[in-house]
With several copies, the nearest count.
Chain A
Amino acid sequence: MASYILEQPFNPWLAISDHQQSATFAQQFGATATFIGTMRDFNDNADVTAMTLEHYPAMTQHYLDKLIDEAKTQWDLLDVLIMHRVGEIKPTEPIMLIACWSAHRRASLDACSWLIEELKHRAPFWKKESRTDGERWVEKNTDGL
């Protein structure tokens, strides 16, 4: 189980692959569910040129670990990896990843879906968009639809 706050761009597929290969849960998993959030390239809305993610470092780390602990109590998980960018993020860069490993499929799928919603609603990150006409704080998260 691990969570990382990253100040630099990362390759989510490489990160998941590396974590899986070094994992102590070895080869007991039969299911891996992942979610990657990426900054969209707003071709249709060229106003947004970059995004800055501010956070509350101590609380962020605490909350990511807490969410992992809560997921582990609800589902039979072999491992969980969470990574989340902070700082300036450019279009097409990954913002965050969640990966869950379990013996059987529903635990990893349901935990992954739960974790992204909880992270969005509880982890203290804030997005500010850089636009051609200045900066603007994102007021609230969308419902994901």
Chain B
Amino acid sequence: MSIQVKFFASLKERLNLDDHTIDNAATAGEVWDITTDHADRPDNVLVAINLEYAQFDSAVQDGDEVAFFPPVTGG
């Protein structure tokens, strides 16, 4: 099993985490815990699985891309 993990913007800077790949996780929350070494989950953190918004308890599968980022501020 292989899951791609990405962080963006202030969250990426604050956690000081680069993109990487993990071997095994059942949910996006587990992906967070593994990659951040169980860092607190900020209230406003957004989760995306395969480019769609998801939740920490959303299931992940082999080949998924999971991303964590702060509230968006484009436009």
Contacts and interface: CB of A to CB of B under 8 A. Distances in A.
Interface stretch (A41-49, A106-114, A134-142): A134-142
* Interface range on chain A (Cβ under 8 Å from partner): 20 to 34
Nearest to B74: A125
A124 B8 contact: yes
Given A59-B67, A124-B8, A140 B75 contact: no
Contacts, number: 75
A56 B8 contact: yes
B67 to A, nearest CB: 6
* Interface range on chain B (Cβ under 8 Å from partner): 10 to 19
B48 A124 contact: yes
Contacts of A125: 72-75
A55 B69 CA distance: 10
B51 A139 contact: no
Nearest to A60: B74
A121 B74 CA distance: 8
Instruction: Give the one of A63, A116, A126, A141 with max B CB within 10 A.
Output: A126
A124 B69 CA distance: 8
Given A95-B74, A96-B74, A126-B72, 11 more contacts: A54-B8, A58-B65, A59-B51, A119-B74, A119-B75, A120-B75, A125-B73, A126-B73, A127-B73, A137-B10, A137-B70
Interface of A: 37, 53-56, 58-59, 62-63, 84, 95-96, 105, 116, 119-128, 137-141
